[in-house]
Structure 1
Amino acid sequence: MSDWFFKRGRRTGIDWMSLDSRLDSALSDLWSFCKDVWDACSSFFARFKLTGWRRLLAEAGSESLTLSLGGFFVLYALALPAFLDFDEARFFTGRYSVTFLDAAGNEIGQRGILHNDAVPLEEIPDAVVHATLATEDRRFFEHFGVDVIGTTRALIENLRANDVVQGGSTLSQQLAKNLFLSSERSLDRKIKEAFLALLLETRFTKREILKLYLDRAYLGGGAFGVEAASQFYFGKSVREVNLAEAALLAGLYKAPTSYAPHVNLPASRARTNEVLQNLVDAGYYTAAQAHEARLNPAQIVETRTATSPDWFLDWAFEEIQRLMAGKNQYVLTARTTVDLTMQKQADEALVSFLKQNGRRLRMNSGAIVAMETDGAVRALTGGPDYGESQFNRATHARRQPGSSFKIYVYAAALENGYKPSSMVRDTSRSCGRWHPQNYGGSRGSGARMPLSMALARSLNTTAAELSFAVGREKVIELTQRLGITGIRKTCSMALGDYGFPPIQHVGAAAVFANGGMSATPYGILDIVNSRGELIYDRARDEPERERLVSQEVAEGLNQMMHQVVTSGTGQRAALDFTHVVGKTGTSTGPRDVWFLGFTGKYVGSVWLGNDDNRPMANGNTGGQLAAPLWASFMSVAHRSMNIPTIPGLQPHPVQIAEQQRIAELKRTDPAAAAALSGARRAPSLTMSTPARDALKRITSELRRAAGVAEPEPASTPGPSAPASRTSGDRADLGPVRAPSATIP
């Protein structure tokens, strides 16, 4: 048998013995070849064997190369976020020059640099340039964007004083921050600032950077740039300022709100003296010249009020650039939707709240947005202090909405067959390793309750389960339909884990406030060019509003949100003269607290937090902090009790009584009834600027001929338009002119 097997194998099988022999031979030859190659390489490299100091030098070079390569990758990783924030468009938005009017046609501010007011660098007095450099960056022409020596010196002085007494940012870094970044105090922002400064230094000359800074810096009173500030404070061009006036302007870079002479004259004079001393220390002027300037301080002229709706104007300027893109129209006059009284009330409400509670609650920032139900923005407050930071948190800060995002989850549920009375459970399935928990840490009691009660109690478990049951894709589609961008599909999406700007939140909520129609936030009513031609009219040029959600869905959600205020987490937002619907929001930490709500007249949101995203004091919620602030603002914002009824709710008794009163007035005094019901609308601005000026002159001559005293001049901006800003997001910050157009 064995003979048969082996014989058969030799005839038809594999010759295993031969294969094994060949494999052994090949491996032996390969090993021999490798040893020969190794010996040859060893003999070759033996010629380069180093000893003594040469070996130490080689080792040091090798380690340096390794560390340099590693450092390069680290620097690249740190620089990449900064380069992503670099926006070339920020250098060219200065082509627009816009005069803004309120709805009645009164001038309220300007943005952009008037082309005929652009001052070349060589025409700016040396006193202004020297005061700027002596105060902000004495080594400006010596460093490469980041002043290592100056930063080290500032760090030492701050350590000695145990306080921040000197800043380490160069003029290039300050320009980078103004153009591309917010003013949040964080290491991340400082790293971005440094890399962007280096990038600016490679793109522009020192003179160009200096010119950009002089045109871009905010100097108080809504004035951007030294030319606009000179017109505002002194009533003349920067070409004509003297040493004392130049020192006053340079002192405003640090904190224009604190050192503006209109706001605090003693502080302004003290700061001016510091700048004069800096000029002496830097060797630009003698002590005698500085003393002479102290004896003859700058004289301030009252050209307009020191306050202006700057947050709103910055956003409106961005709207202008969007509307006018590609139309080759740059010198414009725009009529806006802002309500100056409401704007002032919003500013004061936020500042007062933070002053009283900020330190105790460990928060330093906030934003308020208020608009009508069709999207007309009436007030927009982007932060507590415009002079300290022009970053517009209302339009560019992407903050987590927390539970206030749940309204979109519940709206998606209503669109997919749920009713306010549908029974749901206080529980949810898991998503991967994540399991939703309610406020306090519980995973839900499993209790059954109506959908409306789950929203009123702001149960995280129910909201998460709804997003899973309805489909998170449908929730995202709804938010996109309502105008909210950037929401991602995550397990905790229903709890508001992804941030977006407050103005988008308000615009989306306005859709439910008006019964389901689109309500994109807008601030521009019409625009005329320098020839007085009407080139944009919202009523004429914008498409008809479209229905985004059904009337039934809007009414159902409004009914549920009303319960949030009457018996849920938003009870502190209730008003005694009208119905309120809304939703509170609190993010993890807490880092953000919100109240988003509306009456039949206004839709508004309040956000509170910290710019650097630090957590606030434990235990704070949107219902405890943001809701009462929202209520206090809305209580003064409503100047008429003739408030429309919220879709899905019954009229409030106060509104019923007011409508009855107006009906009686219509019968007895139609003119008074028309005024109360808002029948009188502001006239549309179609008159050109020369025509308005001619009418003003005629009126003045008629008054003089009749012996009537001239009225005091209106508090409007001076002839020079301030160098404006825009944000962007991140940025905050503003447009400046293209360097090639303004710098020789």
Structure 2
Amino acid sequence: MTDSRRGKSRLVADRRYSKTQTKTSKSRKAAPAKRRTRRATPKRGGIIGFFTGIIGWVFRFFLRLFIRAGIVAGLILAAFVGYEYSTLPNVSEALDGRARGSVQLLDRDGVAFAWRGDQFGGVVTADTVSPHLKNAVIATEDQRFYSHLGISPRGVASAVRINLSEGRGPLSGHGGSTITQQTAKLLCLGVRYDPDNWTNEAEYIADCRRGSLYRKGKEAVYAIAMELKYTKDEILSIYLNRAYMGGGAYGASAAAERYFSKPASALTPQEGAMIAGLLTAPSTLAPTSNLERSQARAATVLRLMNEQGYLSDEQTRAAQANPAMLSDKAKTQTGGYFADWVMQSGPDFFTRDTTEDVIISTTLDQRIQKALDETIKEVFATKVREGSKAQAAIVVMSADGAVRGMVGGRETNVSGVFNRATQAQRQTGSAFKPFVYATALELGYSPYDTVLDEPFCMNIPGSGRWCPGNYSNQHYGQVTLFDALARSLNVPAVKVSESVGRDLVRKVSEDFGIVSALRDTPALALGASEASLLEMTGAYAGILNGGSSVTPYGLRELRLVGEDQPMMGAGGGIGERVINEEAARQLIWMMEKVITQGTGGRAKLPDRQAAGKTGTSQEARDAWFIGFTADYVAGVWMGYDDNTPLAGVTGSGLPAEIWHEAMLRVHEGLPVRPLPMIEPTPPRQVAQPQPQQQQQPAQPGSQGGNALENTINDLLQSIFGQN
């Protein structure tokens, strides 16, 4: 029987699976065939395949190693950066980084004339300074400042290339540092100054500026931390406040005031360029040190500003054609010798080593100081031969010892140099003689009393026979004391000194303020001992003020910035009485004759009385003229630093002329006042010592007629005899 359904399709079984499942099943069946096709691809074999595999394996190994090492290094770097980030101070704390304080010196009228220490003019920010200064700093120091992350690999690579091409080490010379890195250095990478760890501030700063590879790495970490904590303008603000800009000025504000006497917000393009140019070498490029060199550097900065689009071509040409100049105030604000002397006379912890900001009020009269500077310049330009190494010094003070002006050498308005007015100890010569006659007048002698000027010798124990002579090599017989002083006769001075007692002469001199050691020899009367010009001028001030001692001083008051009460007052002034006022007034009368009738004729002033004394030391190594009017005392010294004798110069010559020129300028516009002098009473005879005899001190009382005086005079006459 045949099957009638054979050859027909199934009615149910074919529908058991969906079409999708069927396709999937087919694809699964096809997959093994494809794998069989890949396995059929032949592998590269032989030696080439072996080495290729080795190289690939090594490459993959080191790649994985470097990636892992980079991750570890990154984590370590992040840890260091995080630590430095946590130690960074607030911006306000980071602005003023000085270890020392500043000292501002004010003249007698309260006007600032000099700065010492680390000056800080006040806080500025990147927004408050002149945009010209801000742009000049960026153009000069870090033109990509606003785009990098604290370090510039390109800048470092360029610096290394330049250093190697110039024969230096890779880290010596150009540093390639960004402004952020420079600021990190200014912050000393977070290390604060500790006197226990460093001998001084200079050693601390040198340690902060070291350029070792380790230091560079630490600096980079610190810079990145700064970039994370501060904004770009905050970093720039710290830099503009901390950077040293020469002339003792730290920060843009102090520099703007120091050089241009204006705030940092008012700087012109050329002034901003000059300050920015100082950052590479602030001490040598400072305009107070070398204005031309500073201007040349500023011209380069202006060009960089132009190239980077901060200035137009027209602005650049105008700025370069009119370079920045120091203000008139800035030109004179070194304070010169006077400021140095005041700083040395005050306590170190408030002057040279102060950690506070200090204001010192002084006795300086800037009008008088200018007069002295002009006098020295004119004299050496017109009256001293070209090429001469001779030096001169001048001191002017009031009768109470307040110093009004000082020049310590032929170079004026300088600082930190040898001051011949205060530091040089020189033989005083005949400028010492007024103290011999002051002693005699105090003992009662009269300027009209006489002494015999004749050849005279003494036997000095241990030295033998000594015979003083007059400068003129002549003798004038019986002369009055005032005539002997006016002519600067040596023999009468020695006789008077020995008669009144050498010990008394020394005491009077020391009481008047000559603190240098005075030799106990008969040559004391002739100025064989040494003293400074300041000492001698102060001693003459004691004569002018009526016979009281004087301590020269320049510091009137010292106080801390922000404080109303002074920390200390004047360190000098009028002291104890040395001789009676009548004797002092008579001595002034005698010294007035020195100018009107004697050796000081070249010092005579045309409109007012003056008194003084010439002085020339042994072999003319020193020449002096010291004198006074009713208003001021002035001392002049001239000589060589190496004690070379002066050629043709004595106290009555060039020093008297310098004194005359200086006092003309000092008294310009001042009313005329007479000297406080009195003419003495009629003359008496001075007891005369005999030659070759050691003299004994005379006793007071030569004016008067009591029994004690007569007895003393009879005793002296019996010892010395009488002409």
Normalised TM-score (structure 2): 0.53
8 A Cα contact 2:457 2:465, kept in partner: no
8 A Cα contact 2:544 2:628, kept in partner: yes
2:643 alignment partner, one of 613, 618, 632: 613
CA distance in 2, matches of 1:323, 1:519: 26
1:633 alignment partner, one of 647, 655, 662: 662
1:573 CA drift (Å)? 0.9
1:100 alignment partner, one of 72, 97, 105: 105
Counting only pairs closer than 5 Å after superposition, residues 395-434 of structure 1 correspond to structure 2 as 395-426=422-453, 427-431=456-460, 432-433=463-464
CA distance in 1, matches of 2:337, 2:562: 28
CA distance in 1, matches of 2:505, 2:347: 32
Residue 485 of structure 1 aligns with which residue? 515
Aligned residue type for 1:620: V
CA distance in 1, matches of 2:209, 2:626: 43
1:337 paired with 2:370, answer: no
8 A Cα contact 1:219 1:387, kept in partner: no
Alignment coverage as a number of residue pairs: 453
CA distance in 2, matches of 1:519, 1:447: 37
Residue 685 of structure 1 aligns with which residue? none
CA distance in 1, matches of 2:643, 2:613: 22
1:307 paired with 2:332, answer: yes
Percentage identity across aligned positions? 32
8 A Cα contact 1:248 1:269, kept in partner: no
CA distance in 2, matches of 1:490, 1:394: 25
1:390 paired with 2:417, answer: yes
CA distance in 2, matches of 1:570, 1:322: 41
1:439 CA drift (Å)? 4.7
Residue 583 of structure 1 aligns with which residue? 613
CA distance in 2, matches of 1:250, 1:353: 31
Residue 561 of structure 2 aligns with which residue? 530
Counting only pairs closer than 5 Å after superposition, residues 303-382 of structure 1 correspond to structure 2 as 304-308=329-333, 309-321=335-347, 330-359=356-385, 362-382=388-408
1:498 paired with 2:523, answer: no
1:622 paired with 2:658, answer: no
Aligned residue type for 1:476: R
Change (3 A) 1:434 1:318: farther
CA distance in 1, matches of 2:640, 2:208: 31
Aligned residue type for 1:108: F
CA distance in 1, matches of 2:408, 2:394: 7
1:456 CA drift (Å)? 0.9
Change (3 A) 1:440 1:329: same
**SS at 2:331's partner residue?**
coil
Gaps of 5+ in 2: 1-98, 124-136, 142-158, 169-198, 211-243, 266-270, 302-315, 681-723
For 1:98-140, what per-residue CA distance to the aligned partner results, in whole angstroms no more than 9, with x for missing partners? 222223322222222248999xxxxx9999xx9xxx9xxx99x
1:645 CA drift (Å)? 3.3
CA distance in 2, matches of 1:208, 1:477: 54
Residue 599 of structure 1 aligns with which residue? 629
Aligned residue type for 1:627: A
Counting only pairs closer than 5 Å after superposition, residues 68-147 of structure 1 correspond to structure 2 as 97-114=102-119
Residue 471 of structure 1 aligns with which residue? 501
1:303 CA drift (Å)? 8.5
1:245 paired with 2:278, answer: yes
1:598 CA drift (Å)? 0.5
Answer 1 or 2: which has greater helix percent. 1
CA distance in 2, matches of 1:303, 1:419: 53
8 A Cα contact 1:248 1:268, kept in partner: no
8 A Cα contact 1:515 1:647, kept in partner: no
Residue 189 of structure 1 aligns with which residue? none
1:508 alignment partner, one of 539, 547, 550: 539
CA distance in 2, matches of 1:606, 1:646: 22
8 A Cα contact 1:526 1:534, kept in partner: no
Aligned residue type for 1:379: G
8 A Cα contact 2:119 2:248, kept in partner: no
1:519 CA drift (Å)? 2.6
CA distance in 2, matches of 1:250, 1:226: 12
Residue 582 of structure 2 aligns with which residue? 552
1:471 CA drift (Å)? 2.6
In terms of Rg, which structure is larger? 2
8 A Cα contact 2:121 2:257, kept in partner: no
Change (3 A) 1:245 1:474: same
For 1:515-570, what per-residue CA distance to the aligned partner results, in whole angstroms no more than 9, with x for missing partners? 1123322223333322322225758x989743222112212211211111111100
Residue 48 of structure 2 aligns with which residue? none
CA distance in 2, matches of 1:527, 1:329: 14
CA distance in 2, matches of 1:509, 1:352: 26
CA distance in 1, matches of 2:525, 2:272: 58
For 1:180-203, what per-residue CA distance to the aligned partner results, in whole angstroms no more than 9, with x for missing partners? xxxxxxxxxxxxxxxxxxxx99x9
CA distance in 1, matches of 2:285, 2:465: 51
Counting only pairs closer than 5 Å after superposition, residues 177-326 of structure 1 correspond to structure 2 as 207=206, 223-224=247-248, 232-233=258-259, 244-246=277-279, 249=282, 251=284, 259-260=290-291, 265=292, 302=327, 304-308=329-333, 309-321=335-347
**SS at 1:534's partner residue?**
coil
Change (3 A) 1:440 1:407: closer
8 A Cα contact 2:100 2:117, kept in partner: yes
Normalised TM-score (structure 1): 0.52
**SS at 1:645's partner residue?**
coil
**SS at 1:395's partner residue?**
coil
**SS at 1:648's partner residue?**
coil
**SS at 1:396's partner residue?**
coil
Aligned residue type for 1:377: V
**SS at 1:608's partner residue?**
strand
Aligned residue type for 1:495: L
1:311 CA drift (Å)? 2.1
1:607 CA drift (Å)? 1.2
Q: Which has the higher contact order (CA 8 A, sep 6+)?
A: 1
CA distance in 1, matches of 2:387, 2:275: 46
CA distance in 1, matches of 2:390, 2:298: 28
CA distance in 1, matches of 2:674, 2:209: 54
8 A Cα contact 2:399 2:545, kept in partner: yes
Change (3 A) 1:117 1:501: farther
Aligned residue type for 1:560: M
Change (3 A) 1:315 1:413: same
